[in-house]
Structure 1
């Protein structure tokens, strides 16, 4: 006599796992999903890196102002001469030249004597910053000379800055679209971030 507990021995066995066809279809579907998502993922990573560089610059100028107040001395942020710990001291002749110069990294130092674009023996270097990513555009606003370009940012012991109202516009473009936009404005020494829509409009006009 066959009891209920023995019935499983007479039923057809069911194969476990997936068939080869199911595995192939699943692999193909996964590949399609990944390919479709790669551009969006790449854009997100680039946007995150641009945001990080932008926030870092904002923190740098805030730190420079604070150091000037605490030390009661001028603190200067200058564009870095490529591969060195010296300020870029050649005349900046155009907006495009200015962008290239400022993307190459910065030096923050206490200016005890001499010009803002030359680090003298008595000056104190606070920090040296690395170049920005090549797909990020940096446009400086404000002027320290007759040509209209910005050669340095100087913060003084009372917290004010020279020039009075400089700015830094960070843009990352993907074709005709703005992937990231951010603008730091330094109004008489005080650091603020513009509305994102304002920065996007400025980047879109480039």
Structure 2
């Protein structure tokens, strides 16, 4: 009785891997292209004078602005700011913390009353016009979620996303065209002097 176990032939395994890669490559390229576009949209304008970005960490502006969204802010003259504008400013009592809220009212003395869309009451402390760091001009969804997860201690989510991106990067390269990769049979044909072996294996 033979003691050999049944194993897929190397050529069959290679063929299966090629089919998996061929099927996954377009999807991986689409995912990477989308993420790259979102990253460019969320960061490139911040290179311009008067622009900055901020990752939304809480749900105080839900549902229009969600945790993990990146908002681009443009520095604007104080007299152009009015009710309804979304603005970025330092927390009145914790200057190292930035808030993104909506202007509810501009008082006659110029002080600005802000409120989160998801909050029932306006913020307790009005801010001065000079405290406004910018007005929201563009929202890029989801791209800042890894920052939110990391700060919340959900490191497993960050690792999962990183793993997914590595797999996508491995699948993304397109198959080469126009070249001729010799298969076992075509190589054998070349060695035997069959000039048609390579032409049959490649359809460039």
TM over 0.5: no
Structure ranking higher on relative contact order (CA contacts 8 Å, 6+ apart): 2
Where is the strand percentage greater, Structure 1 or Structure 2? 1
TM-score of the aligned structures, taking structure 2 as reference length: 0.31
